[in-house]
A and B are shown apart, each in its own frame.
Chain A
Amino acid sequence: MRDEVMNEDVAREDGSGLRFWRGLDELAPGADSSAALDEFADGASEWDDSLGRRRFLQLMGASAALAGLSGCLSGPPDPIVPYVDQPEQVVPGKPLFFATAVPIRGYAEPVLVESHTGRPTKIEGNPAHPASRGATSAQAQAALLDLYDPDRSQTVRFRGGIATWQQFVEAMQAQRARWAATGGAGLRLLTGPVTSPTLAAQLASLLQQFPAARWHVPDPAAPGPAVAVEPRYHFDRARVVLTLDAEVITGQPGSVRYARDLVSRRRVRKGQTAMSRIYAAESTPTLTGALADERLRLRPSEIGPFAEAVAARLGAGEWPAALSPKAQDWAVTVAADLRANRGAAVVVAGETLVPEWHVLVRRLNEALGAIGQTVDYGAPVAVQPPGNGTDLAALVREMTAGRVDTLVMLGVNPVYTAPADLPFAEALGRVETTVHLGSHLDETGFRSVWHVPAAHALETWSDARAYDGTVTLIQPLIAPLYDGRSAHEVLAVLTDGTPTPGYDLVRGFWQRELADRTDFDSFWRQTLRKGFLAGTAASASATTSAESSSVYGRSASSPPGRSMLRPYAGLQPLTSNSEPATLELILRPDPTIGTGEWANNGWLQETPKPLTKLTWDNAALISPSTAKTLGVENEDVVELRYRGQTVEAPVWVLAGQPEGCVTCHLGYGRARAGRAGTGAGFDAYRLRFVDAPWGGPGLEIRKTGKTYALAATNEQWRMHGRDLARSAPISAFIENPDFAHEGEMMELPTLYPGYEYDGYKWGMAIDLTACTGCNACVVACVAENNIPVVGKEEVRRGRHMYWLRIDRYYKGDASDPEEVLHQPVFCQHCENAPCELVCPVNATVHDSEGLNVMIYNRCMGTRYCSNNCPYKVRRFNFLQYTDYDRNDVSALRHNPDVTVRTRGVMEKCTYCVQRISHARIEAKKENRTIRDGEVVTACQGVCPTDAIVFGDMNDRASRVNQLKTEPHNYGLLAELGTRPRTTYLAQITNPNPALRTVQRSAPDEAS
């Protein structure tokens, strides 16, 4: 009935002159409007299928029954076939190692990657490579987790919607036609620092093809002007080192090697008491300052004048107008020490110093005869973009003015990292075609027209240079998990218009480059096997340049002098009593998550930051007395106002922070990082300005009355009079090598005979002098042992799972501590283990080689072992932390040699028992015993300074035994009778006694 009426309506409307329509379908010509629109058409209620109702129900029933059946089977839905031809070398259970590199800030970190049946599971350093020598940074370790990050971008996107690589290629081909006409005007490229020779060649070719195009490199970690030379240090030749607000141990491209070199001159042993001396004049506390024998706490604005004062004493400048008395004393003493070690002394200028001070420091090094000895100045390793390439402001101006029609951003996130005074996000909206290549659909990718998922370094062919210029090849260990592309592949589309595989691009480049080699094929294979091209380290040719000032970018024209230093003169010297009227803002890359590129990496987020021990957050770091003056304490939220920008941040009081300075770490407050990084911390980029990338004076601070919970793993900074991390100056060690045992209780006699170890007897020694607290071991342990990440809330409750922690203690005053001690603590494998005898079910026992082993299957989780462990190194799965039921890519990351633990089970360091087993099997196959150094624990392997040594204590010649016979070798809490198998070599420092006796005559002398 109703159907007919409606049909009549339509007919009547059709009949009349005025035509009404109810939808676009009806309006469309040709469509059978009445049939398409009318849901009540004739026969609509009939079952119009060859499948009858009865048959349908039969099938439904059968399929339901079969569904139940198939639910019992856990096999894959597709037919599986075992290998017919077993791939060569791939043996299940036997890992393979491939040499490749992890690019960090564009610089190669040479690594060996362990692969189990095609899955990369662990990253180690490349022992042959000069930049690694077997060690890595914490970030390189964590790069593995990024590969398996389930939040990675998985598909090409066009205006937010899912697109294909083919569509992208076609779109770029269309663009190319336009650029060909205009010479590429309006084409802009943004990349991070480029050290890859292949990429550099591709960029050069692109710029050659389209001469009007421009390439910009805005590095958030080094936002200064381009430099024409950069220093490379040889700390292994330096007896005296002065660092000026420089963090050399972590965060730098060469940090792994620098840390090794710095410490190589500090291995104090019995009869080997020569030791380098490190001075650090710095603002916010760094690990370099913690390692230093003498640390001078300065506000950032005082660093330059201090350098000037040192220079003046060395005859390389004038004495500065204003400097605090303490800094003056320091300058005099340090300058004397530097001068006395001419040729073996070096001054290091931090990245955050303005170029003028770099020039001054270079003059200082020249005056010290350091150039060519302890430092080389050479052309930068990163390829410098032509013109004003580092000037992001110029680019934003162009974008705002509409002169940019295509912006290609390769592996960068400028929407997030652009300074607060550059409206980058807004300007991005004015660019017609924006292309973003990124691992995540991050802040920039989200706003871009095209987003291409970036392949991870372990999925791509590429190359990069290490800090010293050595060309390091990057080879994939696994096919891209998603539709990821490398920067080479994207650039190839722009330059050639056709997609080319990364392998062809990289290999092709080197084939052209090494055209004179006849044996290229075998050479290429050898190089890949080794991981790098030997002999490609940058030359130090520029070091002889006498015109030191000419090499520093924009300051090239005028030599440094008083005029240049004026902005820093006239500052009130900081005295201990007067609180500065305004505060000084210090911005720094975060020690774990960098400038934000690692924000979604759970391993790094949960790694306690070296000095603050915070996890999952950044904070406004202030000194204890500034906190008192401001009336704030930890976790109070303050409002930071800097040049009109405000940010709310929680306060964390940090020992050694200069008075009146607030340090904020960049990299947090990400809006689109992923489930780990989004929303963690606050965004300090909002306080960053183009002309003040590292902060400056004029910060206002206001209490808000709010609080914000922070998760720190260690809130104590003192040892409470306990003799835990022992230390002494070198003079005391020479006088009494047994100083570490003074006041120690004698080991009490026992009626029971000790256990006789007739095979191996494993043990470990840790040199506290060598430990820099860089966290590489912490992350390596996490990666090796399948340790779960538990998240901020659980860390706050004290349930972090990391087996290895670095205890940090200060000596001296809280506001200006004399010494910082790092003590890596993990299971000590006590011979007389308190945990073992309290376990009611024998779940933790001693094995025949001295290891305190944990039997997960037997553990019922009474947790008594943890209560009775004086070192508190046991970790408990309070909840099901390892989500092993999760059906996503993150399950692939697990090391198959290590059990994944279930909830309710205790776990702890095993001395990497799986590695011991592996070595034992290899040794047995060859009918021999395990050689010294054959078992390398995960923490030991990555340590840049070789602070951790593991081995057989039954082998008299083993390295671990040598260390254990050192006079300053001691057991932590040995007085409890635990007889720990891990022992420590007390920290030896080399302070300058002159700094404690110097008189205030210095300024007069100087003037």
Chain B
Amino acid sequence: MPTELPPTRHDATPPKPAPGRPLHEPKRYASTTPVAAPGQTYTSVTDTVTGVPLRKHQPWQWLAAFAVGFLLTMVMLTTIVYLLAKGVGIWGVNIPVAWGFAIINFVWWIGIGHAGTFISAMLLLMRQEWRTSINRFAEAMTLFAVACAGMMPLLHPGRPWMAYYLFPYPNSMGLWPQFRSPLVWDVFAVSTYGLISLVFWYVGLVPDLAATRDRLVQQNRGTRAWVYGLFALGWRGSARHWHRYRTVYLILGGLAAPLVISVHSIVGLDFTIAILPGWHSTIFPPYFVAGAIFSGFAMVLTLVIPIRTLYGLEGMITMRHIELMAQVMLVNGLIVGYGYLTEGFMAWYSADTFEQYMMANRMFGPYAHVYWIVIGCNVVVTQSLWFPAVRRNLKVLWVVAILVNVGMWSERYMIVVTSLSRDFLPSSWGSYAGTFWDWSFFLGTLGFFLALVFLFVRFLPMISMAEMRELVHEQGQSPEEKLRAETALDPPGGDGASHPTASPYTHEETAS
């Protein structure tokens, strides 16, 4: 708990919020709860947000979390080295279950990434202003999740060093990849997704990097200011800058939004194209997208709930955000539940022996426990989100979010392993269990993700200051303040803190 607050906070105009507690009364309905706590000013926004990366000492919780992440990252690297030295046989994969943890993790991680894109792109286009305070964080999470996900299909083949065969490059064999295979679509979908996510995230970060640079200059921390300045690409906050920035950002949002649908649809097609009972199902694309957003929001909640408390960001990531995210989870959870129902119905309705056996085997076969974990976590537990009391209880909500993460991972386990372990010919049925190296790789990527998240928190502004200031401007100012702000579009240089009426787009520019 931050008993000691960031030093720049003392300059802030609004009263110090009580640590660990939201500023407003959580009795009100989500729709009417403000998305930025009252009393925020431009300065307080900048102070609070840049305060986190600029503080001299991170709280011990940061160090502890990063240490765990770092250690697990080392475990991951060890696993990768051993994997490359020995072969995929160190994992539990076999015939018939030729896909295992790597694919499960891939689908899971990609799904987690979807929340970020959904929040930043879809909600941007839909002008859902509440996204503002969480979009940066969610986008970063997307990026890190895609990094973890991208590793999986690259390391899962028997000969990872041949992975370049997947790309359509000119070669002496005159051979292209096989465009009928969904795995090729996957390559394009995931690499596009990773690239767009990175650019989108970085473009959004540029004004904030500039603000951080300016703060560092004020604090006479030249070297760091130079580094941030380098990445700020010479942003000075001119109107032209803002114009170009808004245009690019909107275009990127427009590009990213379809990816929310396409990427996981294609991941769903990875399975659907196969003739395997349990995979060959037309419902997969929408059901996978809903599942992705479902698990993505669960992961955002899992991370945001502790971090907002840790860094005192309750004023920006308010209960309204939390509640809205819980509602999105509920909706997607219901879609996912509908998917399960449809699979069961279709198995019965198809009158196909193999489909029917697949469903019975899922429910009562050797992997029945996985199925019931899936149902329990994704369908039963999610129903608790109907109740506002649950949505507003951070501890309960956090547990629900974790359970949804577990449930969604298990769902992928169910789809991959249960379907493969018993297919058409009973003579070749088999079983599967993750080995030590399966788990070490999975936990390793969790640690890698955690380490990246905490590095992000440590070095970059985790909330979009520019957009927050805009929000503060729109909701929190008196009419005359608004007027003054609008007329003073390009005030002379200086700290926003000394100009509380400055435009939200204003930047602490220094003569450099």
Q: Which residues of A contact B (CB under 8 A)?
A: 714-716, 718-722, 724, 794, 797-799, 805, 807-809, 823, 825, 834, 837-842, 858-864, 866-868, 870-872, 874-880, 902-906, 973, 976
Please judge, given known A-B contacts A870-B424, A870-B425, A878-B158, whether A863 and B99 are in contact too, CB under 8 Å: yes
B423 CB contacts on chain A under 8 angstroms = 870, 872
Q: Are B426 and A798 in contact (CB under 8 A)?
A: no
Q: How far is the CA of A861 from the CA of B163 in the complex (A)?
A: 9
- Give chain A's interface secondary structure class: loop
- With A715-B429, A871-B425 given, can you name 16 additional A-B contacts, CB distance below 8 Å? A714-B427, A714-B428, A722-B353, A722-B425, A825-B425, A838-B274, A860-B157, A863-B98, A866-B95, A866-B98, A867-B276, A868-B275, A870-B275, A870-B425, A878-B158, A880-B87
Q: Are B175 and A878 in contact (CB under 8 A)?
A: no
**Does B511 count as interface, using CB distance less than 8 angstroms?**
no
Q: How far is the CA of A875 from the CA of B158 in the complex (A)?
A: 12
Stretch at the interface among B70-78, B179-187, B255-263: B179-187
Please judge, given known A-B contacts A840-B166, A862-B183, whether A721 and B353 are in contact too, CB under 8 Å: yes
Please judge, given known A-B contacts A841-B165, A861-B158, A864-B181, whether A805 and B427 are in contact too, CB under 8 Å: yes
- Give chain B's interface secondary structure class: loop
**Does B159 count as interface, using CB distance less than 8 angstroms?**
yes
Q: How far is the CA of A842 from the CA of B187 in the complex (A)?
A: 15
Q: What's the least CB distance linking B283 to chain A, in Å?
A: 19
- Specify which of A715, A858, A871 is in contact with B424 (CB 8 Å cutoff): A871
Q: Could you list 30 A-B pairs, sorted by A, with CB under 8 Å?
A: A716-B427, A716-B429, A722-B353, A798-B97, A798-B431, A805-B428, A807-B428, A808-B427, A837-B178, A838-B274, A839-B178, A840-B184, A841-B177, A841-B178, A842-B175, A859-B159, A864-B99, A867-B420, A868-B274, A868-B276, A870-B424, A871-B425, A871-B428, A876-B158, A879-B87, A879-B89, A903-B158, A904-B88, A904-B158, A905-B159
B182 CB contacts on chain A under 8 angstroms = 838
Please judge, given known A-B contacts A722-B424, A903-B87, whether A840 and B429 are in contact too, CB under 8 Å: no
**Does B249 count as interface, using CB distance less than 8 angstroms?**
no
B94 CB contacts on chain A under 8 angstroms = 797-799, 878
Can you list the 6 inter-chain pairs with the closest CB atoms, starting with the nearest?
A861-B158, A904-B158, A878-B89, A798-B94, A879-B89, A807-B427
A876 CB contacts on chain B under 8 angstroms = 95, 98, 158
Please judge, given known A-B contacts A721-B353, A878-B158, whether A872 and B93 are in contact too, CB under 8 Å: no
The total of chain B residues at the interface (CB under 8 A) is 49
**Does B17 count as interface, using CB distance less than 8 angstroms?**
no
- Specify which of B95, B99, B178 is in contact with A840 (CB 8 Å cutoff): B178
A794 CB contacts on chain B under 8 angstroms = 89
**Does B96 count as interface, using CB distance less than 8 angstroms?**
yes
Q: Are A864 and B87 in contact (CB under 8 A)?
A: no
A864 CB contacts on chain B under 8 angstroms = 98-99, 181, 183, 274
**Does B162 count as interface, using CB distance less than 8 angstroms?**
yes
- Specify which of A839, A872, A879 is in contact with B428 (CB 8 Å cutoff): A872
Q: What's the least CB distance linking A49 to chain B, in Å?
A: 46
B62 CB contacts on chain A under 8 angstroms = none
Q: Name the residue on A nearest B428 (C-beta).
A: A872
- Specify which of A715, A721, A722, A837 is in contact with B180 (CB 8 Å cutoff): A837
Q: How far is the CA of A902 from the CA of B89 in the complex (A)?
A: 13
**Of B276, B423, B425, which is in contact with the most chain A CB atoms at under 10 Å from its CB?**
B425
**Does B156 count as interface, using CB distance less than 8 angstroms?**
yes
Q: How far is the CA of A904 from the CA of B357 in the complex (A)?
A: 32
A808 CB contacts on chain B under 8 angstroms = 427
Q: Are B157 and A720 in contact (CB under 8 A)?
A: no
Q: Are A879 and B86 in contact (CB under 8 A)?
A: yes
Q: Are B181 and A798 in contact (CB under 8 A)?
A: no
Q: How far is the CA of A807 from the CA of B423 in the complex (A)?
A: 15
Q: What's the least CB distance linking B129 to chain A, in Å?
A: 42
Interface string of B15-28 (1 = CB under 8 A from A): 00000000000000
Q: What's the least CB distance linking B441 to chain A, in Å?
A: 15
Q: What's the least CB distance linking A370 to chain B, in Å?
A: 38
Please judge, given known A-B contacts A808-B427, A860-B162, whether A874 and B183 are in contact too, CB under 8 Å: no
Q: Are A875 and B95 in contact (CB under 8 A)?
A: yes
- Specify which of B157, B273, B275 is in contact with A904 (CB 8 Å cutoff): B157
B97 CB contacts on chain A under 8 angstroms = 798
Q: What's the least CB distance linking A205 to chain B, in Å?
A: 55
Q: What's the least CB distance linking B426 to chain A, in Å?
A: 4
Q: Name the residue on B nearest A863 (C-beta).
A: B98
Q: How far is the CA of A797 from the CA of B97 in the complex (A)?
A: 10
**Does B430 count as interface, using CB distance less than 8 angstroms?**
yes
Q: Are B95 and A837 in contact (CB under 8 A)?
A: no
Q: How far is the CA of A340 from the CA of B357 in the complex (A)?
A: 47
Q: Name the residue on A nearest B175 (C-beta).
A: A842
**Does B476 count as interface, using CB distance less than 8 angstroms?**
no
**Does B92 count as interface, using CB distance less than 8 angstroms?**
yes
Q: How far is the CA of A808 from the CA of B425 in the complex (A)?
A: 11
Q: Are B424 and A878 in contact (CB under 8 A)?
A: no
Q: How far is the CA of A842 from the CA of B184 in the complex (A)?
A: 11
Q: How far is the CA of A903 from the CA of B182 in the complex (A)?
A: 24
Q: Name the residue on B nearest A806 (C-beta).
A: B427
Interface string of B143-157 (1 = CB under 8 A from A): 000000000000011
Q: Are A841 and B166 in contact (CB under 8 A)?
A: yes
Please judge, given known A-B contacts A798-B430, A809-B427, A867-B274, whether A862 and B157 are in contact too, CB under 8 Å: yes
**Of B175, B424, B426, which is in contact with the most chain A CB atoms at under 10 Å from its CB?**
B426
B181 CB contacts on chain A under 8 angstroms = 837-840, 864
Q: Are A859 and B175 in contact (CB under 8 A)?
A: no
Q: How far is the CA of A533 from the CA of B424 in the complex (A)?
A: 51
A874 CB contacts on chain B under 8 angstroms = 95
Please judge, given known A-B contacts A719-B426, A863-B98, whether A878 and B157 are in contact too, CB under 8 Å: no
A870 CB contacts on chain B under 8 angstroms = 275-276, 423-425
Q: Are A834 and B357 in contact (CB under 8 A)?
A: no
Q: How far is the CA of A874 from the CA of B184 in the complex (A)?
A: 21
A837 CB contacts on chain B under 8 angstroms = 178, 180-181, 273
B427 CB contacts on chain A under 8 angstroms = 714, 716, 805, 807-809, 823, 825
Q: Name the residue on A nearest B90 (C-beta).
A: A879
A840 CB contacts on chain B under 8 angstroms = 165-166, 177-178, 181, 183-184, 187
Q: Are A878 and B274 in contact (CB under 8 A)?
A: no
Q: Name the residue on B nearest A838 (C-beta).
A: B181
B273 CB contacts on chain A under 8 angstroms = 837-838
A799 CB contacts on chain B under 8 angstroms = 89, 94-95
B159-177 contacts to A (CB < 8 Å): 159-160, 162-163, 165-166, 175-177
Interface string of B60-81 (1 = CB under 8 A from A): 0000000000000000000000
Please judge, given known A-B contacts A799-B89, A860-B159, A862-B183, whether A872 and B425 are in contact too, CB under 8 Å: yes
Q: Are A858 and B175 in contact (CB under 8 A)?
A: yes
**Of B89, B92, B159, which is in contact with the most chain A CB atoms at under 10 Å from its CB?**
B89
Q: Name the residue on A nearest B352 (C-beta).
A: A975
Please judge, given known A-B contacts A838-B273, A973-B424, whether A872 and B95 are in contact too, CB under 8 Å: yes
Q: Are A860 and B158 in contact (CB under 8 A)?
A: yes
Please judge, given known A-B contacts A842-B178, A904-B158, whether A872 and B96 are in contact too, CB under 8 Å: yes
B81-113 contacts to A (CB < 8 Å): 86-90, 92-99
**Of B96, B99, B162, B273, which is in contact with the most chain A CB atoms at under 10 Å from its CB?**
B162
Q: How far is the CA of A878 from the CA of B90 in the complex (A)?
A: 8
Q: How far is the CA of A448 from the CA of B357 in the complex (A)?
A: 60
Please judge, given known A-B contacts A798-B431, A864-B183, A866-B98, whether A842 and B177 are in contact too, CB under 8 Å: yes
Q: How far is the CA of A520 from the CA of B301 in the complex (A)?
A: 95
Q: How far is the CA of A872 from the CA of B182 in the complex (A)?
A: 20
Q: Name the residue on B nearest A718 (C-beta).
A: B426
Q: Name the residue on A nearest B178 (C-beta).
A: A842
Q: What's the least CB distance linking A870 to chain B, in Å?
A: 4
Q: Are A720 and B158 in contact (CB under 8 A)?
A: no
Q: Name the residue on B nearest A880 (C-beta).
A: B87
Q: What's the least CB distance linking A719 to chain B, in Å?
A: 6
Please judge, given known A-B contacts A841-B166, A860-B159, A862-B156, whether A798 and B89 are in contact too, CB under 8 Å: no
Q: How far is the CA of A720 from the CA of B365 in the complex (A)?
A: 13
